[in-house]
């Protein structure tokens, strides 16, 4: 390339090469693959001006020949390649997409090369795929259980049929959106659009996870035999639930305070007790007040003939007098902007009703919510010193 063309291509393309998104690098190369301009500071590898890009790609087992470049130049189009890179055995393998575009009308062709690091997205995609497979397995299993229980389908005036219709909508909506977003992601090469697509994919999977969880709990509690009880430790169950809510907890500034000193264990069905606490904690996290840090207090007490579980938060609250007749009806959602199928509190009440328990709610708009779960006192496992105190 002569001196005039050298000055011209640098003047035209240096600003383009130096303008990169995060996780993106750019090069300008000649028809032999020699690097004329480079900007790869966002990548984990670095190629200097004067080095050969084609030789580097060959080391990564990706073949791009000068003939390939000439073909791109003759058609004046672009071509996309993929390659992986691992700096050392101790480091993870990274995955990249590379697009080569023919540039200019000079006597000697040259090419703009864009390299995008897709490692994070591919890892997220694999994680999401595994999550989808688990969801599909769970849904198939639960559907077989429900369809094989003819009596359940006919109970309460077709109550289960209504549930399945609501479930159908909550499954199909995010699945349809997920297919569209994944298709869009595959077609676009814009890194910013890919990031937005990844966020939408994560949102769809979150909706599916919530739906599957509600579906699973509903079938477990309404159809399966849960007469077996065991000694349940409140602290251990709470820690298990915190791990389930890791994503939600990390997304907000939340403080938990717990006090299980009066009642630390209870003889109950663990699946049902976990479902009660899961649904109440889920509501506290979902209906937080964005203007302040979230605080959730959990306490167990002995009061009269009852074990009382108290969950209190400082979220947005609700108009209890307005909604008290709808709170425990299935498929009733007080806030349509939040994910879920609207069966959480109905599940909680169903469990309590069959275990001689009850639920009380105190709430006002803007002040948060206080939920009291009352269970028969005889379900508690007393500590010796606590028994003495209660008998005084």
pLDDT in tens, 195-208: 777 777 777 777 67
Which residues, at least 6 apart from 59, have a Cβ–Cβ distance to it below 8 Å?
none
φ and ψ at residue 244, rounded to 5 degrees: -70, -30
Please say whether the beta carbons of 359 and 374 come within 8 A: yes
Q: Tell me how far CA of residue 94 lies from CA of 27, 127, 159, 376, in angstroms.
A: 19, 16, 51, 57
Instruction: Give me the sign of the Cα torsion angle 341, 343, 344, 345.
Output: positive
Average pLDDT estimate for 157-184: 64
**CA–CA separation, 286 and 344 (whole Å):** 12
| C-alpha radius of gyration, the chain, whole number | 30
Q: Work out the pLDDT band at 160, boundaries 50, 70, 90.
A: low
Task: Please return the burial class of 95, using the count of CB atoms within 10 Å of its CB with bins 0-12, 13-18 and 19+.
Answer: middle
Boundaries of every domain in the chain: 3-117, 120-223, 230-386
- In words, the CATH class of domain 230-386 is alpha beta
Q: Work out the pLDDT band at 98, boundaries 50, 70, 90.
A: very high
**Per-residue pLDDT tens digits for 263-313:** 999 999 888 898 899 889 988 998 898 889 999 999 999 998 999 999 999
Kindly report the CATH number that applies to the domain delimited by 3-117: 3.30.450.20
Whole-prediction pTM: 0.48
- Classify 31 as helix, strand or coil: coil
Average pLDDT estimate for 154-164: 53
Q: How many residues does the chain have?
A: 392
pLDDT for the residue 83: 92
**CA–CA separation, 152 and 131 (whole Å):** 29
Residue 6 scores a pLDDT above 70: no
**CA–CA separation, 166 and 146 (whole Å):** 15
**Per-residue pLDDT tens digits for 336-391:** 444 444 456 877 888 888 889 999 999 988 889 999 999 999 887 755 444 444 44
The torsion defined by the Cα of 179, 180, 182 and 183, in degrees rounded to 10, comes to 110
Task: Please return the burial class of 264, using the count of CB atoms within 10 Å of its CB with bins 0-12, 13-18 and 19+.
Answer: middle
Task: Please return the burial class of 334, using the count of CB atoms within 10 Å of its CB with bins 0-12, 13-18 and 19+.
Answer: middle
């Amino acid at each position: 390339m002569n001196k005039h063309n050298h000055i011209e291509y640098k003047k035209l393309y240096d600003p383009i090469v130096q303008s990169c998104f995060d996780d993106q690098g750019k090069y300008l190369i000649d028809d032999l693959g020699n690097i004329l301009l480079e900007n790869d500071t966002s990548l984990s590898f670095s190629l200097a001006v004067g080095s050969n890009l084609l030789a580097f790609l060959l080391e990564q087992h990706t073949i791009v020949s000068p003939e390939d470049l000439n073909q791109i130049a003759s058609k004046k189009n672009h071509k996309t390649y993929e390659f992986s890179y691992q700096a050392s055995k101790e480091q993870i393998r990274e995955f990249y997409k590379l697009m080569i575009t023919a540039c200019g009308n000079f006597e000697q062709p040259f090419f703009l090369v864009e390299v995008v690091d897709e490692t994070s997205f591919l890892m997220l995609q694999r994680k999401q795929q595994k999550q989808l497979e688990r969801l599909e397995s769970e849904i198939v299993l639960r559907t077989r259980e429900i369809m094989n229980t003819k009596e359940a389908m006919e109970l309460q005036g077709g109550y289960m049929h209504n549930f399945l219709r609501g479930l159908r909508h909550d499954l199909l909506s995010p699945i349809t959106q997920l297919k569209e977003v994944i298709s869009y992601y595959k077609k676009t090469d814009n890194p910013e659009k890919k990031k937005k697509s990844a966020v939408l994919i994560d949102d769809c999977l979150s909706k599916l996870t919530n739906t599957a969880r509600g579906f699973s709990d509903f079938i477990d509690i309404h159809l399966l035999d849960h007469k077996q009880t065991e000694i349940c430790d409140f602290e251990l169950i709470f820690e298990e639930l915190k791990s389930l809510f890791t994503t939600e907890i990390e997304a907000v500034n939340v403080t938990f305070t717990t006090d299980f000193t009066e009642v630390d264990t209870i003889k109950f069905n663990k699946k049902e007790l976990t479902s009660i606490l899961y649904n109440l904690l889920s509501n506290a996290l979902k209906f937080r007040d964005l203007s302040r840090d979230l605080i959730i207090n959990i306490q167990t007490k002995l009061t009269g003939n009852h074990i009382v579980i108290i969950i209190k938060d400082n979220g947005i609250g609700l108009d209890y007098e307005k909604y008290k007749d709808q709170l425990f009806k299935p498929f009733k959602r007080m806030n349509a902007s939040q994910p879920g199928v609207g069966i959480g509190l109905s599940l909680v009440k169903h469990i309590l009703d069959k275990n001689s328990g009850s639920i009380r709610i105190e709430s006002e708009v803007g002040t948060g919510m206080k939920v009291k779960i009352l269970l028969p006192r005889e379900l508690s496992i007393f500590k010796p010193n606590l028994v003495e105190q209660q008998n005084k």
